[in-house]
Structure 1
Amino acid sequence: MAVLIVLAAAAKVPNHFGVLLLLGAVGSALVFAGLRDPVVAVLLLLVTTFLRVALPSILPVDPFVLAYLGVVGAWAIWIARGINRAPRLGAIECAMVLYVTWNVMSMFSSHQYGSVIPLSGAELSVPRFVLTGTIIPFTVFLVGRYTFDRASAVRLLLWTILSLGAYSAAMCILQFHGPTALVWPRYIVESPSWEGRAVGIFDQPVVNGVVLTLGFIVALLLAATRSEPRWSRILAIAIAVACAYGVYLTHTRVVWLAFAVVVLIGATSAKGFRTGFVMTGAVMTAAVAIKWSTFTSSDRSAGGVGSPDELQDRLNTAETAIWAVQEKPLAGWGIGRFTAMNTYHHQRWAPDVPWIRG
């Protein structure tokens, strides 16, 4: 299978056959390691999903799709060999199966509008959307419950998440403070989709903020873990600081709000490692108090949150979604059709909210 993939990729980029051959060898080794252990397979899926936007499209399928198939294959092998027990479906798993079933049925059903952006004609890949939005997360949840049952596996997962968070934080800082030559992928500094915001490897500040927030949480947890070596705990503290600063550099209010909620919850309920949350909350409160006028201004680049535009966007979008549910409460408008439906049936939250927003 790996040979076929390399040959297919070589047909697209014949001048880099040697590099592709090397990548094929590395990929084969990773596939072998992943099939031997679902823990490794899940971590490979995590990394390839993280790199999804950045990796060039030279393979016939996305690497994260291959990694997902590896997770399913590795877990099936473990169950067949008796290393792991077959899953027992509870209420949560049954709800997930029903939700995936509804998504698949909606994907194959006919709907009033197509899965396209009407103004540009760009088409949304609904199968890809269903795979990344429901099937992969639910599969990883199910596999994780029965696979990450050892301290060593959990520790490996935490350090993988921390590494991804650290990379995201580094790219945020380099994007704004340089040297920008070290930033990869290059679109972060050359053609970001959101100018003036830390978009990260995803080219999207909100998704980037989610990874930074997760990195911050894991960093504080590992920094407070006594069994970790001293050097790794110090490193975790440094990464936590970098992730927190990266969150600020997103200049995105929903990311800031989510981070503030995480800090508040951590400060009140993170038993054994709440000190970092308390200190972060104190620094955030002091910074807002010192620069209150700037914070409440509409200057987003300076850290202001006073601009109403994004809030009005979300209010109108929410009103449109509510209207859509009321119109078709059972079958719905079709998965991947909201953009088209919003174009033709856009609603306004209130008379004082401009209709054009959202």
Structure 2
Amino acid sequence: MRVLAAMSGGVDSAVAAARAVEAGHDVTGIHLALSRNPASYRSGARGCCTIEDSNDARRAADVIGIPFYVWDMSERFHEDVVEDFMDEYAAGRTPNPCLRCNEKIKFAAVLDKALALGFDAVATGHYARLRTGADGLVEMHRALDHGKDQSYVLGVLDQRQLRHSLFPLGGSTKTDVRAEAAQRGLLVADKPDSHDICFVADGDNAGWLREKLGERAPNHEGAVVDDATGEELGRHEGTYAFTIGQRKGLRIGRPAADGKPRFVLDIEPVTGTVRVGPRERLAVHRLSGVRPRWCGTPPEVLDGPEVSVQLRAHGSELPARVRVAGAERDGVEVELLEPAYGIAPGQAVVVYDGTRVVGSATISATRGDR
């Protein structure tokens, strides 16, 4: 096959490209230039988006012996990922930009361009496994190394995208990948993993949002109030600096009467009100999702010992019952069999049947009732 290897400049994508070559594919490496002004994105060689990362990817391609190009996706990335990130926070929701990047950029814009150029598949360094099911559909499963599993942020992929994807690292551990990189002479073998949001240069999400949204957001200032009594406890400069479940930086002048910490329970962007209260008020037993994305045939109801959901990129699986809802089957209702805490609208709920990823949806509402 003709394979396009997306090379971020990190160790995972470099080894994935090398394995694609070793598997006999005709491989071309590309690096995505995602910033309209590279100096404005995170500095330092951390495995994504910077000039240093582009150079690291080029050197890795030279060692592997494959052609290498840089594709400018900066305008599309800014519109579909960065602007979406700002809009979601301004609306009081908590988005996942990496998941949105996979949906809109890496497995949509890049894949579409690759297919138009005659490539058969796109290979990435994500930790997930693909296999063909008994019904002939391509299934995505959790990676062998559950500590590195990235199926959560890939839960937005549909069947067409999965048929043209390769994840060469799904059956490996990170330790093995680093050792293999060193054996292959790849200089990125010991390069640190990237954990921060790539377009937030210093990792200060709240500060970045304050700078970008401070002047345009209608809720520039507001009150932090006790959810039980309605008492104003403090003031803030913008709801975009808060997320559901947040404990620190609440701008509260005095401790609660019971001495226990307070957490953000609700964000009202129209009035600028941030409501806080005890942790037990964060418990979520039911949630609704919109804009579902199914990896295969959409289910009607999922209910059984193997059904679970994941609500954060590095969160635990929770047993659940899942039902497709809405006249247009454009919604999802989830009953959690164990409570989750600090779950916010805007996050993704990814549905699993055992290790298989069924699909995902964007959380639109949460409820504490059983």
Q: State if a TM-score over 0.5 links the two structures.
A: no
* Structure with the higher fraction of residues in helix conformation: 1
Taking structure 2 as the reference length, the TM-score comes to 0.29
* Structure with the higher fraction of residues in strand conformation: 2
Taking structure 1 as the reference length, the TM-score comes to 0.30
Q: Which has the larger radius of gyration?
A: 1
Higher relative CO (Cα under 8 Å, sequence separation at least 6) belongs to 2
